[in-house]
Structure 1
Amino acid sequence: MRAKARDAGASAWLENLPGLVGDLCREWELRPGGVFGDATEAYVVEVTRKNGTPAVLKLLVPRPGAPAAHEITVLRLAAGEGCGRLYEYDVGRGALLLERLGPSMAELNLPQPRRLAILADLAAALWRRTDAELPTAVTRLEWQMHYIRRQWRELGEPCSRAAVDQALAAAESRRRAWDPGRAVLMHGDVHQWNALSVAVEPSLLGRPARGAAGHGDGAGRFRLVDPDGLIAEPECDLGVLMREDPLELIDGDPWERARWLAARTGTDPVAIWEWGLVERVATGLVLTVAGVQPVAAQMLAAADAVSRL
C-alpha cells in the first residue's frame, strides 16, 4: 500500500494517515484493531463500532479517477445485496466503514465450477438500472484498447500479435454494440479474491442454501468487495469470469464457459466471449507490469491459445 501511495504521488496522504484514522475513529465512534497487511489500494483496519458491531475502516489511496466516489456509489445502491454493507462514508476523505466479512473464496479452496456459479450469481444480484454518475463500458473499453497497444510493445510483446489483434477487435465490437438501454450497474472486477464469506463456519459451506440470485449454490454465503463501479451491459462483468482460471479455460472448450454463463444469467454468449478476449489480454498485461506471476503469464498463454482456435 505504501508503494502504491508513493507511486500515485500520495506521500503527504501517507504522512497524515495516522491523524486521519484517529479523526474518523472519533467521529464514527470506533475502536481500532488490527491492520490488514495484504491490502494494496487502501489502508484497511479492523474496528469495532460503539454498539459492538465488528466492521472495517477502509481509506483508499488518493489517485485520479474518483475511485472512492465510484466504490461508495456502488455500495450505496447495492444496499448489501451481492456486496458487503456500507455503514458510513466520506467521499472527500476516501473513507468507508464496511461490514466485516470472513475469508475470501480463494482462501476456502472451493472447486472452480462451484466458484464460477457463485460469482455469476453475485454479479447478477448487483445488476440494476441506475442513473448514477459512473464510468461507462465505452470509457473502460477505450482505456483497455489504449493500454493493450502501449503495454504490449513496452513489455516486449509477451503474447502473440494474433491475441492482441483479437482483443482489440473484440473491444471495438463491444464499443460499437454499446446500448444505454441495456446498461446496468455492475461491480467490474468479479473474482474469487473479491468474494468474501459471510460469518459462517467453513463446514457449513457444503450445505444447500438459496443463493443471492435464486440459485442453490451458496451465493448468499458470500459478498463482493472492492467494486470498480461502472455502467455497462451485463456481459461485461461475465467477461471477467472468462479471464479468470485461465488453465481451466484452455483445458477444455473455452466457448463452453461463455455458453454456460449466458445460460445461467440470461445473457448473450458472444458478448461474454468478446469481453473475455479483452479482459484476458488487458489484465494479463496489468499483472505482468505488477509482477504477479505465474497468473499473468497464464492469462496471456490462454489468450494465445484462444487466438489459435
Structure 2
Amino acid sequence: MELQEKFVQSVRMYFNLQGEKWLSRLPEIIQYCENKWNLQMEEPYALSINYVAPAVMENGSEVVVKICIPGKGFQDELAVLRLYNGKGMVKLIEYDQDNGIFILEKLTPGGTLAEVHDDEEACRIAANVVRKLSVVAPKNCKIPSVKAREDNLREIVEKHPNGIGPFSKKTLEKALNIFTYLNNTTTQQYLLHGDFHHYNVLSSENNHWTAIDPKGLIGEIEYDLIQYMLNKLPENNAYDVIKKRVEIFTEELNLSEQRLLLWGYCHTVLSTSWSVDDKDNYETSFFQGVAIFEKLYEEQFGYIDEIETWSE
C-alpha cells in the first residue's frame, strides 16, 4: 500500500514511534474497517495526519471513513461530534474507539469555504456556521478548555527564557498575561470547534455549509474565530482583510470586539510559536497577525502594553 509522502512525514514528525507503528498497521485497519461495516474504501483525500477517504456502503450509500491514531485527540473529537449531533457539524454515523475509526456522513458537493473568492461572503457564511455551533458547554465536560492553551504558552515562556523565533521574552510574557486575564474573566463557556477555518467548512446540499474535523475545546466563541482570521490572507493588505473579518464576526454574532482582538493577539503569538522549527523558521502569515491585532486593538481601546490592567 503506497501512502502519500507528505502524510507519512507528518505522522512521523508529530507522533514519532507511535506514528511509525500506526502507519505499519494502517493497511490492516483499513481491511478491518471494510469487513466490519461491509463497505468499500476508495482513494483517500489529500491527507494531513489522519487517513480520510470516501467509501461506499453495501447498500450503495456514500460515507467518509476517518482513521486516527487512538488516544486523547480521538476521544475529544468523538465527544465533540456526539455533543453537536449534526447541528452545524458533520454527522457521526458509527465509530470504533479501539482502532480510532469514524464513519461520517459524506458532504456533497463538498467544496471548502476557501473556494469562495469573495472574502466578505465567506466570512458571513462562516459566521452562520459558528452560530449553529454556539452551544453552551455541558457541566463536567472532559474536553480541554482554552486554559490548556494558556498553560501551553506558559510552558513555552519557561522553556525559552530568551524568547522564541521572532518573539522576545517580553512579547511572550505580554501574550501570556493577556491569556490569563481573558481566561479569568470569561463568564460563559461554550463548546468550540477548536480548529475552525476555511478548510474545515464544506458545502453540503441546498447551499448549506457544515463544519468538519473538530479538535474540541471549551471557551469563548471569540477565541474560536482567531484561526479563521489568520487563514487565507492575501499577500498584501492583510490588515484590511482582518479588520473587515472582525467587523463581520462581531456584528453577525453579537460578540465583544475588545475580547476578540485580545484573543487574536495572544493566540496569534501562541500559534506562531508553535510554527517555529529547529532552524528558527516560522509561519510568517501568522506572525503578521500579531501586529495587526495589536494595531486594531489600540485604534479602538488604547495601548495593549498596559499589561498591569489585565491582572487587576
TM-score, normalised via structure 1 length: 0.80
Fraction of identical pairs, as percent: 22
Distance 1:150 1:243, change over 3 A: farther
Answer whether contact 1:46 1:54 (CA < 8 A) is retained.
yes
Partner in structure 2 of residue 299 of structure 1? 286
Rounded to whole Å, the distance in 2 between the matches of 1:224 and 1:151 is 36
Residue correspondences, number: 281
1:93-122 CA-partner distances (Å, limit 9, x unpaired): 21101122312122x243211121111221
Answer whether contact 1:167 1:277 (CA < 8 A) is retained.
yes
Q: Which amino acid in structure 1 is aligned with residue 227 of structure 2? A: V
Please report how far the alpha carbon of residue 234 of structure 1 lies from its aligned counterpart in structure 2 after TM superposition: 1.8
Q: For residues 68-83 of structure 1, what are the structure 2 equivalents within 5 Å?
A: 68-83=74-89
Partner in structure 1 of residue 249 of structure 2? 261
Q: Which amino acid in structure 2 is aligned with residue 39 of structure 1? A: L
Rounded to whole Å, the distance in 2 between the matches of 1:290 and 1:266 is 41
Of 222, 245, 262, the match for 1:235:
222
Matched, 1:118 2:125: yes
Answer whether contact 2:264 2:293 (CA < 8 A) is retained.
no
Q: Which amino acid in structure 2 is aligned with residue 194 of structure 1? A: N
Of 82, 91, 95, the match for 1:85:
91
Please report how far the alpha carbon of residue 194 of structure 1 lies from its aligned counterpart in structure 2 after TM superposition: 0.8
Matched, 1:192 2:198: yes
Answer whether contact 2:116 2:122 (CA < 8 A) is retained.
no
Distance 1:6 1:154, change over 3 A: farther
Partner in structure 2 of residue 205 of structure 1? none
**Greater alpha carbon shift after TM alignment, 163-172 vs 44-53:** 163-172
Matched, 1:41 2:44: no
TM-score, normalised via structure 2 length: 0.79
1:181-236 CA-partner distances (Å, limit 9, x unpaired): x1121101111011112157xxxxxxxxxxxxxxxxxxx62211111101112222
Partner in structure 1 of residue 184 of structure 2? 176
Higher relative contact order (Cα pairs below 8 Å, separated by 6+ residues): 1
Partner in structure 2 of residue 221 of structure 1? 208
Rounded to whole Å, the distance in 2 between the matches of 1:285 and 1:139 is 15
Q: Indicate the RMSD between aligned Cα atoms, in angstroms.
A: 2.9
Answer whether contact 2:163 2:172 (CA < 8 A) is retained.
no
Rounded to whole Å, the distance in 2 between the matches of 1:34 and 1:95 is 17
Rounded to whole Å, the distance in 2 between the matches of 1:49 and 1:59 is 16
Please report how far the alpha carbon of residue 44 of structure 1 lies from its aligned counterpart in structure 2 after TM superposition: 1.2
Partner in structure 2 of residue 67 of structure 1? 73
Answer whether contact 2:264 2:290 (CA < 8 A) is retained.
no
1:106-159 CA-partner distances (Å, limit 9, x unpaired): 2x243211121111221221121223321112122212343466479575x324
Q: Which amino acid in structure 2 is aligned with residue 127 of structure 1? A: S
Aligned-partner SS, 1:35: coil
Distance 1:251 1:4, change over 3 A: closer
Aligned-partner SS, 2:195: coil
Aligned-partner SS, 1:185: strand
Aligned-partner SS, 1:136: coil
**Greater alpha carbon shift after TM alignment, 74-83 vs 139-148:** 139-148
Partner in structure 2 of residue 211 of structure 1? none
Distance 1:230 1:251, change over 3 A: closer
Rounded to whole Å, the distance in 2 between the matches of 1:301 and 1:94 is 36
Answer whether contact 2:192 2:217 (CA < 8 A) is retained.
yes
Rounded to whole Å, the distance in 2 between the matches of 1:20 and 1:306 is 44
Distance 1:236 1:199, change over 3 A: same
Answer whether contact 1:90 1:96 (CA < 8 A) is retained.
yes
Partner in structure 1 of residue 65 of structure 2? 57
Distance 1:238 1:306, change over 3 A: closer
Please, which runs of 5 or more residues in structure 2 have no aligned partner? 1-6, 299-312
Partner in structure 1 of residue 29 of structure 2? 20
Aligned-partner SS, 2:42: strand
- In the TM superposition, structure 1's runs of 4+ consecutive aligned residues that sit over 6 Å from their partners are none
